[in-house]
Amino acid sequence: MNKQEKVEFVINTLKQLYPNIPVPLDHKDPYTLLIAVLLSAQSTDKKVNEITPQLFAYADNPYDMVRLSVEQIREIIKPVGLSPMKAKGIFGLSKILIDEYHGKVPKSIEALEKLPAVGHKTASVVVAQAFGIPAFPVDTHIHRLMYRWNLSTGKNVVQTERDAKRLFPKSLWNDLHLQIIWYGREYSPARGWKLEKDIITKTIGRKSVIQDYYKKSSKK
């Protein structure tokens, strides 16, 4: 298969596996999505979904959020980790949204990246999932799979994002980034990976990755 055929194989396989794509983080609007994505840094979506109902019961909009103290926010979000930095970020960005955006979440990656504790990946997820603007947020799953599938030699997520945007049609970016995340979790995880179940890597994967897998398997 040439590269274009590989790309089409990935698109078609993911479409068959995930025709209806669930959004991993529970939210009801752009603000609650922004907070949930911010909380998910170095944590799991499962843990974030356990914590956000408690936080949003107190404050599900920036006006109510700034009525809480940073310490109160931190106490609620402690189980997701990095709580001092995240609590400050949530309070600070809520204040900026009120002061500069009439309490609304801006629709541009550039504006979002200027908010406290909001990085490029968080901003990309928000514009893609809240506003339907094409973006390709790259997390650890996508970074791992793009390398395994020999579609990127990305040493970091910035390079991997560039490769993904170059290879995949823009109209599919928002679906694909979620489909690849689900696929990575179910079929191609970092730990406990079974190549036999991983149809995409088995079919188009990087030779060195497949050889390493069989070498390690034979030693077990």
pTM: 0.93
Cβ–Cβ < 8 Å for 86, 80: yes
138: part of which helix (H) or strand (E)?
none
pLDDT tens-place string over residues 112-145: 999 999 999 999 999 999 999 999 999 989 999 9
47 class by beta-carbon count within 10 Å (0-12 exposed, 13-18 middle, 19+ buried):
middle
Per-residue pLDDT, 220 = 65
Per-residue pLDDT, 149 = 98
Query: Catalytic residues, which ones?
Result: 121, 139
pLDDT tens-place string over residues 144-165: 999 999 999 989 999 999 999 9
pLDDT tens-place string over residues 70-104: 999 999 999 999 999 999 999 999 999 999 999 99
